[in-house]
Amino acid sequence: MLNVAVIGSGTMGNGIAHVFAQYGFPVTLIDLNLDNLNKGLATIGKNLDRQVAKGTLSEDDKTAIMGRLRPSTSLEEGVRDAGLVVEAATENVELKLTIFRQLDELTPAGCILATNTSSISITKIAAVTKRPESVIGMHFMNPVPVMKLVEVIRGYATSDAVTAQVMELSRQLGKIPTEVNDYPGFVANRILMPMINEAVYALYEGVAGVEEIDTVMKLGMAHPMGPLQLADFIGLDVCLAILRVLHDGLGNPKYAPCPLLVNMVMAGRLGVKSGEGFYKHTAGSKELIVAERFRR
């Protein structure tokens, strides 16, 4: 069985590790911060408990899955025997380039180096390694244990064999992989982020309120979540970063982030992760309450 290493134990990293372990892969979950690593493992345990409560897994299944997970605070030790590494660190270009330079030196020959980036160029990341043909995007959707899509992104030099292997691995996880090419935002965020940005502009320009905008999109377009609620869920800082990648990479003013979004990020109103964005978010509560400044 292929040994998998996942770098980063945050929301995406622990979700990716969860899914690989659930489908039988031995997984090393790597985070240099021990507290974050323990939180990531605890989150996996809680999510497995939910699956047990729903009857989709047994207690024995949960025990087996947790037994396939090995935590590590050492990148060198964690990737030593990996056949696949999935990087799920913060969406920061320089950080990812640094990680991939290290992975190129530390991983065995033949190891596939994948990144869960939602917008950063695979070609740029691959260029800092001596094996660009083995570097690929493996963009999971949040929440990873639930969402079926994996956006598989080919860099300029990614080989057919590596692409085929990652597509098949995604299917083995019960996912539906979709192959796309390496251009800013790929497919998912090139389409999603301008929609979210336009929703923020509609609020900024006084076209409608937060609840009204989200209701129109939920009931009129059959979206399960309105764009402003979704932006809170993704993280307004992440939305802003992706829009800047689109704007810089494509040079089209239609991708310029709304000033309201920029100001909210500068003010630390990042959505769920900070407790407030377009809505107020209370731990343990699913009730949607519009943030005070946006109430009519």
So which residues are the catalytic ones? 118, 139, 151, 189
The distance from CA 169 to its chain's CA centroid, rounded to whole angstroms, is 18
Residue by residue, DSSP assigns 220-244 as HH--SS-HHHHHHHH-HHHHHHHHH
Pair 187, 160: CB distance under 8 Å: no
User: What is the CB-side half-sphere exposure of residue 163 using CA atoms within 13 A?
Assistant: 18
Cα distances (Å, whole numbers) of residue 77 to 91, 121, 132, 220 = 23, 27, 23, 51
The distance from CA 171 to its chain's CA centroid, rounded to whole angstroms, is 18
Q: What are phi and psi of 103, to 5 degrees?
A: -60, -35
Q: What are phi and psi of 176, to 5 degrees?
A: -115, 105
Cβ-proximal residues to 219 (8 Å cutoff; 6+ apart), any chain: none
